[in-house]
Amino acid sequence: MDKTRVLFLCTGNSARSQMAEVFLRYYAGDRFEAHSAGLEPKPINPLTLAVMEEIGFDLSEQRSKGVEVYLGKTHFDYLITVCDDADKNCPTVWPGVNQRLHWSFEDPAQFVGTEEQKLAKFRQVRDAIQERVKAWLTQQGIPVTD
């Protein structure tokens, strides 16, 4: 049985889409093939690495990728934009995409504050993405356990 392919798309592929990819792989890797990309890829944010490491996820092998890696080359059952900018600027017609969804999460990298306040914002976004992935899987009829 083929796995359902999902592409999480964000502007930079440096935080939100990376987190979503890792969570989907963790909770349903036996049923889903998770990928992520960015419209304008940037290196993975060090705070992304830190807050994911806090909860036991090592992203050191992850890398930021541009959308051109996949556009028109790979079939996806779902394209899920995880930021408003990507949703607005993503091609409306994408050959090889069955269904497009939008999950809006604020960009933690845009938050201004102390280092601890920035970490708190990254944690907040991380937790929201984790809960959204779990809820979506539940809607798909896939049991989610921690």
Condensed to tens digits (0 to 9), the pLDDT of residues 35-64 reads 999 989 999 999 999 999 999 999 989 999
Q: What is the DSSP letter of 80?
A: E
The pLDDT of residue 1 is 60
Give DSSP secondary structure letters for 88-105. Answer: HHS-S--TTEEEEEE---
- The residue from 6, 10, 47, 129 that is catalytic is 10
**Mean pLDDT across the stretch 19-41?**
94
Q: Roughly how many angstroms between the first and final C-alpha of the chain, as a whole number?
A: 25
Question: pLDDT-based confidence at 92, cuts 50/70/90?
Answer: low
CB distance 64 to 39 below 8 Å: no
Q: Is 22 a catalytic residue?
A: no
The residues, any chain, with a CB within 8 Å of residue 41's CB and separated by 6 or more, are: 12, 13, 14, 64, 65, 66
Q: Is 10 a catalytic residue?
A: yes
Residue 97 has pLDDT above 80, yes or no: no
Q: Is 83 a catalytic residue?
A: yes
**pTM for this predicted structure:** 0.92
Q: Which residue has the tokens 């999950």?
A: 103
- The residue from 51, 79, 90, 137 that is catalytic is 90
Smallest Cα–Cα separation from 68: which of 26, 39, 28?
Answer: 39
- The residue from 83, 86, 97, 129 that is catalytic is 83
Q: Which tokens sit at 71?
A: 């556009």
**Domains of the chain, CATH where assigned:** 4-139 (3.40.50.2300)
Judged by phi (left if over 0) then psi (alpha if -120 to 50, else beta), residue 124 lies in alpha
CA pair distance 27, 36, nearest whole angstrom: 16
